[in-house]
Each structure stands twice: as structure tokens, then as C-alpha cells.
Amino acid sequence: MNITQEADYAIRAILILSMEGEGAKLDARTIAERGTIPLRFLLKLLRKLIHSDIIKSYRGVNGGYALNKKRADINLKEVIEAVDGPIAINRCLKNVDFCNNNNTQNCKTHYYLSKVQETLISELEKINFEILTSSK
């Protein structure tokens, strides 16, 4: 399983804002340059992150983007889901209509993959941007 390039860029953007400090604003061009993220792609991501209430935007000459929450209150799961939607390691975990066995209650594969997914989600929730900014 891989996270998408879009999620990777979103994580980088939030990390850049987190390292700048809570309340600090950066313009999109600065975030793009620091994160090596194509500007047009970043602007699409920033809209998704605003919509998810992870960041906020400011208009005008002194405008830019800033965290909308404390770093400790933003985790990797939240950022990934803001751009990619709900995490599912198999499509049947997202929608039971995709179950090849047509019986998710008795499907051992579904059962064990859901356990793996629960662990993955739990671990992503534990990693917040306070931890990431203080890591070496």
C-alpha cells in the first residue's frame, strides 16, 4: 500500500506550516518552494486542507496560509483523509458491495484485513505534527 503523491505533498505542506510555528502565515509560493511541490498542485491541496479545517487562509497583501489547529491536534490520518478520503487497504473495507465473497460477515480475508486497517489507522492517529516537528 502506498499513500498518494497528493497525500505526501499535503503532509509536507502541513509540516512546513508546523515548523514555521502556530499562528505563522506563509504564502503558497513559499510553501511550494520549501516542499518542492508544484505550485498549481499545491493550491488544489490547500483548498482541500482548508475545507477540512486543518488550515485557514488569509487574503490580501499580508495573506497566506496558517494552521487552523495546534500542531498536536493535527495527525497524519487527518491529513491523508483530507486529500485522499477514508483510508481503506482494500476496496471491500470501504464498500461491502465490492466483497468478492459476497459475505463480509463470514469472510476471513475481510476480517483480517479490517484488523490490519484498524492498526494502520490507529498508528496514523498517534503521529501528530507536534511529534513530527520535534523529530530529528
Domain count, the chain: 1
Which stretch of DSSP H or E encloses residue 56? Answer: strand 55-58
The answer as to whether 71 is a domain residue is: yes
Query: Could you tell me which residues are beta bridge partners of residue 128?
Result: 75
Please count the other Cβ atoms lying within 10 Å of the Cβ belonging to residue 118.
11
pLDDT digits (tens, 9 = 90+) for 58-96: 998 888 999 999 999 999 999 999 999 998 887 677 666
Q: Which residue has the cell 498508528?
A: 123
Report the amino acid identity of residue 35.
G
* 61 close to 72: Cβ distance less than 8 angstroms: no
- Confidence at 100, pLDDT banded by 50, 70, 90: low
The answer as to whether 73 is a domain residue is: yes
What residues make up the domain containing 81?
Answer: 5-86+127-134
